[in-house]
A and B are shown apart, each in its own frame.
Chain A
């Protein structure tokens, strides 16, 4: 596994024992990112959501919001608030199942 060039130096060994504040979740998250799996999973999810038209739905929601509010009065937060509830709810079950399966298998391999 290649280390990042710009990574700050790891903390000294003396404080090492105290730094076990990292929760299991954070450890797994770090593993996910470092192995590149998080990026792969994100790409997979993005591709599936494009295929099923979810992305176009979200863009249409944004567009109608922009039309109502006027394009110069819109912030990114506005759009995120517009999309998030509908977006979370309208992910197809098959897509969600596929991603969860990948995640679980990663967790399984990471636990070993």
Chain B
């Protein structure tokens, strides 16, 4: 195969040809990408699309709600409505067990309870001092008594956990065919 002898002619022909070949390759890749996106869109495989449409809709709704001049827009009756349309009571409702004293506590009241329970406040400190003095006295008399009280409290805790695991176990056993 003989190419033109002229050096300049050679170079420009070569680079022209190279550029042409490159855009050939690029065009075929563009077609690949376009056809894949087309397929994804038509088959609804691109779940992001629906999510984005939903988000656009919700944000438009929220904007409309904000511009609605009723209580500044984001308060619905008694509670405040967040961007997902959920309401949260001003004090958290969930009830659980305090790990220090074992009482049933409401989540919103947990911090004040802990202060009393673990000894931040004045009364608690007095209580703690008194109980620690008692414990020291006990310790002085004999380690058996204080270790026994520790053991009883831990056993109470382990009892609780074993109870729950026990229940869990039995549930699993019943569900087993």
Q: A residues touching B (Cβ–Cβ < 8 Å)?
A: 24-25, 27-29, 32, 38, 41-42, 45-46, 49, 55, 58-59, 62-63, 66-67, 71-72, 74-76, 79-80, 82-84, 87-88, 91, 96, 99-100, 103-104, 107, 110-111
Contact = CB atoms under 8 A, between A and B. Distances in A.
A78 B42 CA distance: 13
Contacts of B25: 38, 41-42, 45, 99
Contacts of A66: 37, 41, 49
Closest 3 CB pairs of A and B: A62-B37, A79-B34, A66-B41
A38 B24 CA distance: 10
Contacts of A84: 27, 30
26 contacts: A29-B21, A38-B25, A42-B28, A55-B33, A58-B33, A58-B34, A62-B33, A62-B34, A63-B49, A67-B53, A71-B41, A72-B42, A74-B42, A75-B38, A79-B34, A83-B33, A84-B27, A87-B30, A87-B33, A99-B25, A103-B22, A104-B18, A107-B14, A107-B18, A111-B1, A111-B3
Contact of B26 (A28, A29, A38, A88): A88
Given A80-B31, A103-B22, 10 more contacts: A41-B25, A59-B37, A62-B33, A71-B44, A74-B41, A76-B31, A79-B34, A82-B34, A83-B33, A111-B1
A88 B26 CA distance: 7
A76 to B, nearest CB: 5
Nearest to B38: A76
A58 B21 contact: no
Contacts of A80: 30-31, 34
Of B22, B32, B37, most A-chain CB atoms within 10 Å: B37
B52 interface: yes
What's the interface size class on B, roughly? 20 to 34
A100 B34 CA distance: 24
B46 interface: yes
A79 B37 contact: yes
Contacts of B21: 28-29, 32, 103
B28 A24 contact: no
Interface in B3-54: 3, 14-15, 17-23, 25-35, 37-38, 41-42, 44, 46, 48-49, 52-53
